[in-house]
Amino acid sequence: MRGLFIWACLFATTSGFAQSDPALQERLKSIGSDQVALRSAVDAGKKVTFFCANCHGEDGISKTADVPNLAGQNPAYLLEQIRKFGAGERKDPFMQGLIKVLKDEERIQVAHYYASIKVAPSAADVSQVPRGKELFGKLCVRCHGEQARGNDLYPRLAGQKVPYLKSSITRYRDMTGVRNNQLMSIATATLKNEDITAIANYLTQMP
């Protein structure tokens, strides 16, 4: 089981951007390395995301428990998810319709805007945190990082709401979600419901 997990992690790392837009990713990085250009992109992104606020909040902190926070996500990861919705690789009629109207530069601005916002940790059941930390260290840290802040390929989990985390992890375990991922299925296969609750409580209280 451990060997299969490591193989899947390596496979995901080498193939995660196989369908991404290299030119847009390069443009994203170029703007991110220029403080003046980055500030301009963030300001523009704040204006562009007015239509996202109803669900994801004006500051990227979701208004409802089943919608993910976008604040604090890695900009390259966000840009790739935007591309996937626009291309129909991620299925959500509402999201797909909104993203299709965005120009390439606006997509970059949106990614930089949300990435620029700090995420405050949420309240957790402190009795669940130690067990959640232990499980996260065994199953999740290789890809999502010790601070659960993700990277270009994997999403930030720190600070997400407990209900969203629980439902997402459960769907990966049960392979009932829109996004089925071999790596996540392997990592979550042995988790019991109480394990998922513990992990969610650990992650939600992380800054």
pLDDT band at 19 (very low <50, low <70, confident <90, very high): low
Query: Is residue 195, in this structure, part of any structural domain at all?
Result: yes
Count how many domains the chain has: 2
| Contact of 70 with 60, CB cutoff 8 Å | yes
pTM, 2 dp: 0.88
pLDDT of residue 177: 81
Same domain, 106 and 65: yes
Query: Is residue 47, in this structure, part of any structural domain at all?
Result: yes
Query: Is residue 48, in this structure, part of any structural domain at all?
Result: yes
Residues 127-156: tens digit of each pLDDT: 999 999 999 999 999 999 999 999 999 999
For residue 93, give its domain range: 17-115
| Contact of 66 with 74, CB cutoff 8 Å | no
Phi and psi angles of residue 62, each rounded to the nearest 5 degrees, phi first: -60, 150
Q: Which amino acid is at 37?
A: A
- The DSSP result for 105-174, as a single string, is HHHHHHHHHHHTS--PPPP--TTTHHHHHHHHHHHTHHHH-TTS---SSS---TT--HHHHHHHHHHHHH
